């Protein structure tokens, strides 16, 4: 297993460098220029005709892209992650202060999605072709098709107009005010979790149906074992591997895909920080934020691969002693 883990870590290195190159190039070819935006916010700079060139040189934007990338990568490897030209604050401090909010929203969302998706998927599988099965399959299609931002907007409208209720406007961390934090997290988590549960439902149903057709399940039934025990102790465990793959990808998506929900519900997470950085063309802040998400995604993939060994004894046997 140690060799397997080392191989996975080595394979992640070129992926990381490829991600940094793509990020570095894309955010610089997006229309708009940070120099123009900064000059619009500094009226005195417009008086001097050479101010733009000096500001561009100060920010290191007058050099070729390969040189800029090499300088940024060298600083990143040395721990020098840069300073935001807008706030003059280290970008690492800002990203670290925002990341826990995004992590919290992603965890609560995955709890909602897993509870709904796995339960509904198992129910749909064991009651195949029943009215409940067809109803759950329709729900999964609607959940996959409905845009999250539309559902979130309709939810806010319904809460405010019909229940005269809105979540607390100022974000509170769990240790500051648990009740306010729960009210702020539960609604975006329900919107995102219900949508993501549709994919988990479909995968759980498909893998459960495949497992329930296996010979060892028929043997267990013929021995008189209780159906509940067969489903919980045998069928569910063997059907979880593809489901965990889907969940790992969804959790990685959530880390960078909560931008709209954070903006709609006023959550000061990493997605909200990235949205502001894109509007301001804050290159150092945006680069670090996306790199943090990429590293988190690579780490999640490694965790999912290791979970395969826990869930599937064939993988443990394959790498035993390696």
Stated length of the chain: 322
Statement: residue 44 has pLDDT above 50: no
0.85 surpassed by pTM: no
Q: Which two tokens stand for residue 91?
A: 């970008």
Q: Where are the alpha helices (DSSP H) in the chain?
A: 2-29, 34-40, 51-58, 65-77, 91-126, 131-145, 148-162, 178-212, 215-222, 227-230, 236-257, 259-265, 270-280, 283-311, 313-319
315 lies in some domain: no
Confidence of residue 90 (pLDDT cuts 50, 70, 90): confident
Confidence at residue 45, expressed as pLDDT on a 0 to 100 scale: 45
pLDDT confidence bin for 312, thresholds 50/70/90:
low
Domain that holds residue 115: 96-274
For the cut 60, the answer to whether the pLDDT of residue 214 exceeds it is yes
The tens digit of pLDDT for each residue in 175-203 reads 888 888 888 888 888 888 888 888 888 88
Q: Is the pLDDT of residue 48 over 60?
A: no
- SS3 state at 83: strand
| Residue 30 lies inside a defined structural domain of this protein | no
Compute the distance between CA of residue 40 and CA of residue 63 in angstroms, rounded to an integer: 23
The backbone torsions φ and ψ at residue 147, rounded to the nearest 5 degrees and listed phi first, read -65, 135
Q: How many angstroms separate the CA atoms of 252 and 259, rounded? A: 13
**Rounded CA separation 231/204 (Å):** 12
Is 71 contained in some domain?
no
Q: Please state, in angstroms and rounded to a whole number, the distance separating the CA atoms of residues 167 and 181.
A: 9
Other beta carbons within 10 angstroms of residue 268's beta carbon come to: 14
Q: Which residue has the tokens 């780490």?
A: 299
Mean pLDDT of 59-79: 81
CA 289 – CA 275 distance, rounded (Å): 11
Count of structural domains, the chain: 1
Q: Is the pLDDT of residue 38 over 80?
A: no
Burial 133-149 (b: 16+ CB within 10 A, else e): beebbebbeebeeeebe
For residue 257, tell me if it sits in a domain. yes
Residue 300 lies in a domain: no
Please calculate the CA angle 106-108-110 and round it to the nearest 5 degrees. Answer: 65
Residue 126 lies in a domain: yes
CATH number, residue 224: 1.10.3720.10
Interatomic CA distance for residues 144 and 318, integer angstroms: 37
Is 191 within a domain?
yes
Residue 37 lies in a domain: no
Q: Cα-atom radius of gyration of the chain, to the nearest Å?
A: 24
Q: At what angle do helices 131-145 and 178-212 cross, to 10 degrees?
A: 120
Kindly list the distances between the CA atom of residue 3 and the CA atoms of 296, 310, 317, 321, in Å, as whole numbers in the listed order. Answer: 22, 16, 14, 10
The pLDDT of 294-304, averaged and rounded, is: 78
């Amino acid at each position: 297993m140690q060799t397997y883990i080392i191989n996975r870590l080595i394979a992640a290195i070129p992926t990381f460098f490829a991600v940094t190159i793509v990020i570095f190039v894309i955010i610089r070819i997006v229309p708009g220029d940070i120099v123009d935006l900064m000059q619009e916010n500094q009226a005195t700079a417009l008086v001097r005709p050479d101010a733009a060139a000096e500001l561009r040189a100060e920010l290191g934007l007058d050099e070729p892209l390969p040189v800029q990338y090499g300088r940024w990568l060298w600083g990143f490897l040395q721990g020098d992650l840069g300073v935001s030209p807008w706030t003059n604050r280290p970008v690492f401090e800002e990203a670290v202060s925002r990341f826990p909010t995004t992590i919290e929203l992603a965890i609560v969302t995955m709890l909602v999605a897993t509870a709904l998706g796995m339960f509904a998927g198992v129910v749909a599988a064991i009651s195949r072709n029943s009215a409940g099965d067809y109803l759950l399959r329709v729900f999964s299609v609607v959940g996959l098709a409905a845009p999250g931002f539309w559902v979130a907007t309709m939810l806010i409208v319904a809460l405010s107009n019909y229940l005269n209720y809105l979540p607390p406007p100022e974000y509170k961390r769990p240790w500051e005010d648990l009740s306010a934090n729960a009210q702020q997290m539960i609604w975006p988590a329900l919107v995102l979790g219900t949508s993501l549960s549709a994919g988990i439902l479909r995968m759980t149903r498909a893998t459960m149906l495949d497992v329930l057709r296996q010979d060892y399940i028929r043997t267990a039934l013929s021995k008189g074992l209780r159906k509940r025990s067969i489903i919980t102790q045998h069928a569910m465990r063997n059907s979880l591997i593809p489901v965990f793959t889907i969940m790992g990808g969804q959790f990685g998506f959530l880390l960078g895909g909560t931008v709209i929900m954070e903006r709609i519900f006023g959550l000061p997470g990493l997605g909200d920080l990235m949205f502001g950085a894109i509007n301001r063309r804050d290159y150092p802040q945006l680069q670090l934020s996306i790199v943090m998400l990429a590293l988190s995604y690579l780490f999640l993939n490694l965790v999912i691969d290791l979970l395969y060994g826990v869930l599937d004894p064939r993988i443990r046997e394959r790498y035993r002693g390696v």
